[in-house]
Amino acid sequence: MSIRIPVVSREGKPLMPTTPARARKLITGKVARGRFNKLGIFYLQMLVNVGQSTQPLKMAIDTGSKYEGYAVGSNREVCLKGMSKLPELVSQKMTDRRRLRRSRRQKLWRRKCRFNNRRKKDYWIAPSQKAKAELREKIVKELANIYPIMQNGTKDIAFNHFKYRHGTYFSTAEIGKTRFYKVLEVIAPTIKFKGWQTANLRKQYGIPKSTKKDEILPESHANDAVAMLCGMFGNLVAHKNAPFYYWQRPEFARRPLHRQHHQKGHLRPTFGGTKNGGHFRKGDYVEAEKAGQIYRGWVCGLPTEKTNKIGVMDAFGTRIGQFTPRKVRLLCRSTGIMWRT
């Protein structure tokens, strides 16, 4: 089986994926144009009116507390496999922000706390869990925009917290799952798999599984989603040649109201922030050149008073280097997600 390229109609409705050879012919004939979505997936948008009939494609999501797996395919082959890393250190950032806010209230005068008498809304969710839920929802919505999804499959996370006391990570994954189920139901009807059902499907169809959860490989999480696809179709679907994507949210240092110490003259430093009035912004996908070598990554640092360089990082958040602005070319504006194939 060959790699499949997603296709959308002229109005943006997802159609059946096509082969790379046919995609090249469509682009050469000026019948379609190539585009990239927010997940870094290349797809075609038709420039002429075509038929709207599609075959049933299904999507499976293996949810987790730190990493998650995704798979989209038909009854013959898997079109895409993916893995995402959920945001971390959000609660620590909230703690630091609360500590600095309380210290500012004690600087010049004593301002009373305004939050003791405020009732949380019924749909309130902790910021650390909200960040994970929003990333999960963003990925499935972007996949549904380029693939004609007819049915969803996801893991039904459940843990007996009354009987056992080692379910910390299960609690993290359980929070927000009802909200995620509602998002999936809007896309297509959803069925749920228990953890033991996914394990049995992997053994039944001989799908490999890695014990290392942090490995950037299909065997770590994406193959669990493939096993769900096999369970939904009732047969083994080809998945070895499917493209594999890794997604992660960029983590930036936000510009604080003040640093740990009050700034003289009430002048906020340029530390943090996602823009400084220039052309580039943090999170932009760029192409940079240094010593005759080309690098591609995401902007993580902007020019300041001390240095006139632009920092670029890879999909894992590790800085590649600092580059001169005139040797940096913008490829795509920030989408809030970094990717790697």
pLDDT tens for each residue of 167-212: 777 777 788 888 899 999 999 999 999 888 999 999 999 999 998 8
pLDDT: is 105 or 145 the higher one?
A: 145
**Domain 55-105+126-249 = CATH 3.30.420.10:** yes
pLDDT: is 83 or 104 the higher one?
A: 83
What are the beta bridge partners of residue 57?
149
pLDDT: is 222 or 3 the higher one?
A: 222
Whole-prediction pTM: 0.90
Helix (H, G, I), strand (E, B) or coil at 289: strand
Q: Does 320 have pLDDT greater than 80?
A: yes
Residues near 215 by Cβ (< 8 Å), separated by ≥ 6?
A: none
User: What would the two tokens of residue 160 be?
Assistant: 């007996």
To the nearest whole number, what is the mean pLDDT of the chain?
A: 88
Mean pLDDT on 69-79: 92
Residues near 145 by Cβ (< 8 Å), separated by ≥ 6?
A: 8, 12, 14, 37
158-162, Cβ contacts within 8 angstroms, sequence gap of 24 or more:
158/194
The number of helix segments (H) and strand segments (E) in the chain equals 7, 16
Least reliable range by pLDDT among 97-106, 208-217, 245-254, 310-319 = 97-106
Confidence at residue 52, expressed as pLDDT on a 0 to 100 scale: 85
3-state helix, strand, coil in the chain (%, to 5): 25, 25, 45
Q: What angle do CA 315, 320, 324 make, to 5 degrees?
A: 120
Residue with tokens 């997936």, as numbered in its chain: 41
CATH class of 264-340: mainly beta
Confidence at residue 51, expressed as pLDDT on a 0 to 100 scale: 87
What gap in Å lies between CA 136 and CA 9, rounded to an integer?
25
CA dist 91 → 49, 95, 98, 327 (Å):
49, 6, 10, 37
Confidence at residue 260, expressed as pLDDT on a 0 to 100 scale: 66
User: What would the two tokens of residue 109 be?
Assistant: 């005068």
User: What would the two tokens of residue 139 be?
Assistant: 């990925």
Residues near 182 by Cβ (< 8 Å), separated by ≥ 6?
A: none
Domain boundaries, the chain: 1-53, 55-105+126-249, 264-340
pLDDT: is 176 or 28 the higher one?
A: 28
Q: Does 93 have pLDDT greater than 60?
A: yes
Confidence at residue 2, expressed as pLDDT on a 0 to 100 scale: 66
Confidence at residue 17, expressed as pLDDT on a 0 to 100 scale: 93
Helices (H), ranges, 51-114: 90-104
What gap in Å lies between CA 225 and CA 81, rounded to an integer?
8
- Mind listing the pLDDT tens digit for each residue in 209-245? 998 888 999 999 999 999 999 999 999 888 888 999 9
Helix (H, G, I), strand (E, B) or coil at 250: coil
- Mind listing the pLDDT tens digit for each residue in 264-301? 777 766 677 788 778 899 999 999 999 999 999 999 98
Q: Does 95 have pLDDT greater than 60?
A: yes
